[in-house]
Amino acid sequence: MVKQLLRNHSSVRIYDGTPISKEIVEDLIATAQMAATSHFVQAYSVVWVTDEKKKEKLGLLSGNPRQFETSGGAFVFCVDFKRLQMAGKLENVDIIADSAENVLVGVADVSLFAQNFVIAAESMGYGICYIGGVRNKPEEISELLNLPEFVFPLFGLTIGVPARRNEVKPRLPVAAVLHENEYNAQKYEELLPAYNETLEAYYNSRSSNRKIDNWTKQMADFLIEQRRPFMNDFLARKGFNWK
Ligand SMILES: Cc1cc2nc3c(=O)[nH]c(=O)nc-3n(C[C@H](O)[C@H](O)[C@H](O)COP(=O)(O)O)c2cc1C
């Protein structure tokens, strides 16, 4: 059942190395493409990195070398307005690609497309892990993959036959993310300490990488400083000037 599959998701970070075939990749991509897409723009492209040297470099640049090395397939999912620019040219129109709105459109499109790919892959028994780490070195990765203007890497994805599966990680309680009629921030005063207890128990009892940690501490450590401050300039160089 689809719902059970979704509830059993956990990211896989070590695979058995079995390569994924072209036939399967093409089938997963065709399935992913059926995701809804803003105004039918289909503003995504994905680079499948099969060249072993490039794959190794991608693993190093994104800070996940072992995961890439053992994966059966490595992908970089990109926001893509290049194809739309060329579609405009066919109609003798210079499209406006570089607005903040279009970046949001592209990010939404890529994410829905990728998540369809992931669900289809997990339904076949594969494990996956998204790799936001590709945004650590976006210039180098753009160069490695020859990404043109109006195309930028949003995240990577590894896929493969899992060598180890992690226990399912408990999410925030439904009450924390579901609001009725109006937003209510006050409830977090009770819900966040309770969620910390749930996560402390999870981290303390899982089968690998046990640790003492909780969610609010993790988030505070993560968000204490600006993340990837170079991203604004990088996006501008790619043609997205946030107009
Ligand atoms: C866009 C995105 C980027 C991510 N980047 C990384 C990454 O670079 N390295 C990694 O090990 N996990 C990465 N993850 C996986 C998350 O850490 C993981 O989904 C989260 O901790 C929840 O765990 P679960 O997927 O096992 O339930 C990423 C997930 C998403 C959605």
What would the two tokens of residue 134 be? 């590709």
pLDDT digits 0-9 by tens, 87-135: 999 999 999 988 899 999 999 999 999 999 999 999 999 999 999 999 9
pLDDT given for residue 47 in this prediction = 98
CATH number of 2-167+226-237: 3.40.109.10
Torsion, Cα of 235, 240, 241, 243 (10° steps): -140
pLDDT given for residue 7 in this prediction = 98
Burial class (CB in 10 A: 0-12, 13-18, 19+), 153: buried
- Domains of the chain, residue spans: 2-167+226-237, 174-205
Mutation choice for ligand 1 from 11, 58, 70, 157, CB with most ligand atoms inside 8 A: 11
Instruction: Provide the β-strand partners of residue 160.
Output: 127
Mutation choice for ligand 1 from 112, 131, 206, CB with most ligand atoms inside 8 A: 131
Rg (CA), the chain: 20
Residue 13 CB contacts under 8 Å (≥ 6 apart), including other chains: 64, 66, 67, 129, 164, 166
Query: Rounded to whole angstroms, what are the CA distances from 179 to 120, 133, 229?
Result: 30, 32, 32
pLDDT given for residue 98 in this prediction = 85
pLDDT given for residue 242 in this prediction = 77
The residue nearest atom 8 of ligand 1, judged by CA position, is 131
pLDDT given for residue 241 in this prediction = 85
Q: Which residues line ligand 1 (CB under 6 A)?
A: 9-11, 13, 64, 129-133, 155, 166, 169
- Looking at the whole model, is its pTM more than 0.95? yes
Q: What is the pLDDT along the chain (243 residues), one digit of tens a residue?
A: 999 999 999 999 999 999 999 999 999 999 999 999 999 999 999 999 999 999 999 999 999 999 999 999 999 999 999 999 999 999 999 999 888 999 999 999 999 999 999 999 999 999 999 999 999 999 999 999 999 999 999 999 999 999 999 999 999 999 999 999 999 999 999 999 999 999 999 999 999 889 999 999 999 999 999 999 999 999 999 999 877
For residue 160, which phi and psi values (nearest 5 degrees)? 175, 180
Mutation choice for ligand 1 from 117, 129, 168, CB with most ligand atoms inside 8 A: 129
Ligand 1 atom at shortest distance from the alpha carbon of 62: 8
The residue nearest atom 1 of ligand 1, judged by CA position, is 132
Pairing of strands 127-131, 44-48: unpaired
pLDDT given for residue 243 in this prediction = 74
The residue nearest atom 9 of ligand 1, judged by CA position, is 131
CA distance 152 to 201: 39
